[in-house]
Chain A
Amino acid sequence: MKFGILRFPGSCDEVDALNAASRVADAELIWHGDRDLKGADAIVVPGGFSYGDYLRAGAIARFSPAMESVIAFANDGGLVLGICNGFQVLCEARLLPGALLRSVSLRFTFRQVELEVLQSGGSFTRACALGEHLSIPAKHSWGRYYADADTLAAMDSSGQLVLRYAPGHNFNGSLHDIAGVCNEAGNVFGMMPHPEHAVDELTGGSADGLRIFESMRLTVEGAAVAAV
């Protein structure tokens, strides 16, 4: 199985994502200018400051040639994980509902946060238990998740609210403490905290983030088995 990690000008955490994904399967970087996704079975849109956050975070990245291929890949059911800036890109690309607004503190904040798993069994959390708490670092200033009331209600009933900040851990003011959401089909997932920075106790404070990448591998391999 192979992960494809996008790299935009200004991406910061793409190498971290590459190293994290490599612990679980093969992984390769995909340059923003290339339309060729190199046979990746799953795509990761990484964290950072693509295009300097010019205009709006993620607003320019979503138009890159690589993203055009990713959108088609997602529409075909391919797995796409967006982390932090990647989550912002996916919202800009309308692959995910809602938007990420400026944190209520108006400041950049870096903190190790606890996330509650609201949906397990899906493509991105099947290696987690329902209700489990994951310890994952979050670092951003535009991570306040917003969607209008009707959208949120619909997302809730279709099981699209996947991760939420545990009580006391929501520092950005996201509605309903939402930390990660997926699309209706369940193949596109965005989260503001950084699972790629929680794959090694020594540097990440926990290895809980590895579970997200593990889940994706299980999903891809399960589909491969089913297809046989």
Chain B
Amino acid sequence: MVIPSSKDDTHTDASASPTVEDALALGLTRTEYELVCQKQTRPPNQVELAMYSLLWSEHCAYKHSKKLLRTLPTEGEHVVMGPGENAGAVDVGGGLVCAFKVESHNHPSAVEPFQGAATGVGGILRDIFAIGARPIAVLDSLRFGEPGGAPAADSTAGAAAPTGTRSRYLLDGAVSGIGHYGNSIGVPTVGGEVYFEAPYEHNCLVNAMALGLAPRERLVRSAAAGPGNLLILFGASTGRDGIGGASVLASAELGADGDRDVDKRPTVQVGDPFEEKKLLECSLELLERGLLVSLQDLGAAGLTSSASEMASKGGVGIDLDVAGVPLREPDLEPFEVMVSESQERMLCVVEPADEQAVLELCAKWEVNGSVIGTVTDTGRMRVLRDGELVGDMPVAALVDDCPLYDLQPQKPSAPIYAAPRATAGLTLASTPREILLAILSSANISSRRPLFEQYDSIVQSRTVRRPEQADAAVLALPDGSALAVSIDCNGRRVAADPYTGTVEAVLECAANLACVGAAPLGTTNNLNFGNPEKPHIAWQLSESVRGLGDACRALEAPIVGGNVSLYNEGATGPIYPTPVIGMVGRLPAARRAGRLGFARPGDEIALVGAPRPSLAASELAKLLGQPLPDGLPAIDVAAALATHAAVRDAVRAGTLSSAHDIAEGGLAVALAECCLAGAIGAQVELSEALWEAFAPGEPSAPGEPSAIGTALAPPATTALATALFGEAPGGFVVSGETGAVRALGEHVPLVPLGRVGDDVLSIVEAGATAGTMLTLTLDELAAAHASLAQLFV
């Protein structure tokens, strides 16, 4: 990207004015440039063009998504702060609110995974304390290409098939970066998810979610107010990092040739968690002492977006002098100061009487603090250098008048995605034992321990359930209750059916919350999609948002904030549509938080709920190399919600030993996960009642249970595979004392499965003469489940 430099940077020097070609190079369209000229009543100068190009980028202006986002439910009885501020917040009782939000840092992480992921965490943390909440937890949602290799079908344009090296490099860098930032600043990383799918090979996803706690009275908004008030910048000094970074990168597709990304490396921001820790304490103390009128953090597009958005929300103007900005290096041009994305900086509005106190507090915490401007009543954003005017724009033009575009959605007539590569040696004729081991050791299912052991998940002493102890992370609140949080999305299933796949993602979060005894309070989302100007991507986006809205309405878990990341595609095609959902809930008693592992020999195991499992778009279908289906089976949302409520109530009552939601890999994988987490075996029997529950009215699987596919007619073949490995929302595996487990059956469908005990997982078919269908020792299960560890040697 070329920004013309000019030493004579005044708005009256026509010969130095940027041209329409410069505007195009910065990402504006010709029409948008002409609109800017209209708003300015003359061609914009360098500073102005730089600012418009950033604020009118997709990343800042949400040009292609804002109209869609307006259809989402954002209000509810628990909502204290909805979308539009730095983060959303819900009431959690005891005078406290929980702030939370998820954001992405995809394009920077693809270029430099360590710093891209680290600054992604830094950015979302700032959004939390920018509204006055102390950050208490981080979760991450990651997507990479296959770590062991590429799909055979991925030979477009003659490009060499990926070996997995790059994905392992990105995974390693991103996990290290997240750990580095979160651990150093003292915020626990308590949960997350990672998926490995070929469509993410050239466009990885790094989404970071954060939660914070605040007394309700300390919440602050970002609208600038009070002409005559001062604008104070505090935190780290300003340099050239990330100039044109996030915004420009996020609005353009990455090159197919990964080597060219090396040139983009200076555009990735560099983070310093120590600096942010000081900034966090300083910000919270400023708010505690009531010294701030409003507060905003600096993220993508730096001072440009922060100052302009503060002015826009307050309906005021701002005069900003770049000479007041503490610089990391000399001779930054005014436009560079305005677009710099140097990390760990905040902007606040302060009444003149409080200036001294604010600057003293900054000195105490050893962060820079300086007055850089004033709030005015002109409605204009004026940039000065040492008193000389170098840029003058109407605030409304910058922030509110960016054109919004209607999507032109059209369902694709042919598949967009290549079929996944089949796992060698695995077919429907493989034994259930072989299939279970293959799924357990696959990258999407195997234990994430090598990742989460790089995160401090207990600092601040609130963590009641650590990763792999339960389906959701649980954080204690002072009054003995607790927060629960989960982040989920299966992009491959959304690709198969954007509407239903998104509903599934929302239900998955709620199911995870139910397993620990929590009811949802609110939702955040990060929509990660390809190029919305393409009709098939527009279709994915519209259908997904429709599903998101319907599901959140059904759950009464409104959207309190979120993020959109578009243009995640390259020459090899778009990513799977990936609407990452983050959900926060509350449970009344922290000490009764549910666990996922089996616990006591003799406990009864049962399937709760009426899922309709199917192999369509399942992990097994992926390992078998099956192409994505066109559509997913419809979901009985009401039945799923009834099941969530029953499980939640039983967990709250303390009557169950364990509860685990059935998700990827189906029932057999869920059972294996319960055994592994509890370090205890299970003896499971698939009864007539189970077949009936899974496929009412269809013939149950007869005959030989020892091998799928041998001498069985096709419906029965897939019936067994479907029962063991089919996927659908609405099913749970619970364990506990028999009476307590059976009591659940009074409210929702329940099928007894067997008993906890011994050190093997065995699954038999009731009445079968040919013996067990599968038997695996805990050691065998653990060995398969530990396969991801080899990526971190």
Contacts and interface: CB of A to CB of B under 8 A. Distances in A.
Interface string A167-207: 00000000000000000000000000000110010111000
A63 interface: no
Interface in A93-141: 107-111, 137, 139
Interface string B444-470: 000000001111111111111000000
A10 B274 contact: yes
Given A9-B277, A202-B590, A203-B476, A110 B457 contact: yes
Contacts of A108: 179-180, 183, 454-456
A137 B458 contact: yes
A110 B176 CA distance: 13
Nearest to B179: A108
Contacts of A13: 186, 459
B277 A110 contact: no
Nearest to B187: A12
B277 A10 contact: yes
Interface stretch (A50-58, A75-83, A143-151, A154-162): A50-58
Nearest to B180: A108
Contacts of B179: 108
A1 interface: no
A166 interface: no
Interface string A3-30: 0000001111101100100000000000
Contact of B455 (A52, A110, A137, A200): A110
Nearest to A52: B274
B590 A197 contact: no
A16 B186 CA distance: 11
A165 interface: no
A213 interface: no
Contacts of A86: none
Nearest to A200: B461
A11 to B, nearest CB: 8
B454 A203 contact: no
Nearest to B457: A110
B591 interface: yes
A181 B179 CA distance: 28
B458 A197 contact: yes
Contacts of A9: 274, 277-278, 365-366
A87 interface: no
B454 A16 contact: no
Contacts of A137: 458
B526 to A, nearest CB: 26
Interface string B773-793: 000000000000000000010
B122 interface: no
B261 interface: no
B351 interface: no
Nearest to B277: A10
B677 to A, nearest CB: 14
A53 B792 CA distance: 24
Interface in B465-484: 476
Contacts of A54: 274
B272 interface: yes
B273 interface: yes
Interface residues of B, number: 32
Interface in B737-793: 792
A108 B273 CA distance: 15
A109 B453 contact: yes
Contacts of B277: 9-10, 12, 49
B430 interface: no
Contacts of A16: 459-461
A74 B617 CA distance: 65
A203 B458 contact: yes
B370 interface: no
B687 interface: no
A139 B452 CA distance: 12
Contacts of A202: 464, 476, 590-591
A107 B274 contact: no
A221 B550 CA distance: 64
Interface string A57-93: 0000000000000000000000000000000000000
A204 B464 CA distance: 8
A107 B176 contact: yes
Contact of A52 (B272, B457, B476, B792): B272
B572 interface: no
B166 to A, nearest CB: 20
Nearest to A107: B454
Nearest to B275: A52
Contacts of A197: 458, 461
B737 to A, nearest CB: 22
Interface in B149-176: 176
B364 to A, nearest CB: 9
Nearest to A48: B186
A206 to B, nearest CB: 12
B462 A49 contact: no
Contacts of B456: 12, 108, 110, 139
Q: Max chain B CB contacts within 10 Å: which of A13, A139, A197, A200?
A: A139
B184 interface: yes
Contacts of B461: 15-16, 19, 196-197, 200, 203-204
Contacts of A204: 458, 461
Contacts of A203: 458, 461-464, 476
Interface in B408-463: 452-463
A202 B476 CA distance: 9
A110 B186 contact: no
A12 B365 CA distance: 15
Contacts of A12: 183-186, 277, 456, 459
B792 A110 contact: no
B454 A110 contact: yes
A51 B792 contact: no
A41 B664 CA distance: 55
Contacts of B464: 202-203
Interface in B242-284: 272-275, 277-278
19 contacts: A9-B274, A9-B277, A10-B184, A10-B278, A12-B456, A19-B461, A48-B186, A49-B183, A49-B274, A52-B274, A107-B176, A108-B455, A110-B458, A139-B458, A202-B590, A203-B462, A203-B463, A203-B464, A204-B461
Q: 5 tightest A-B contacts by CB?
A: A52-B274, A12-B186, A49-B184, A139-B456, A16-B461
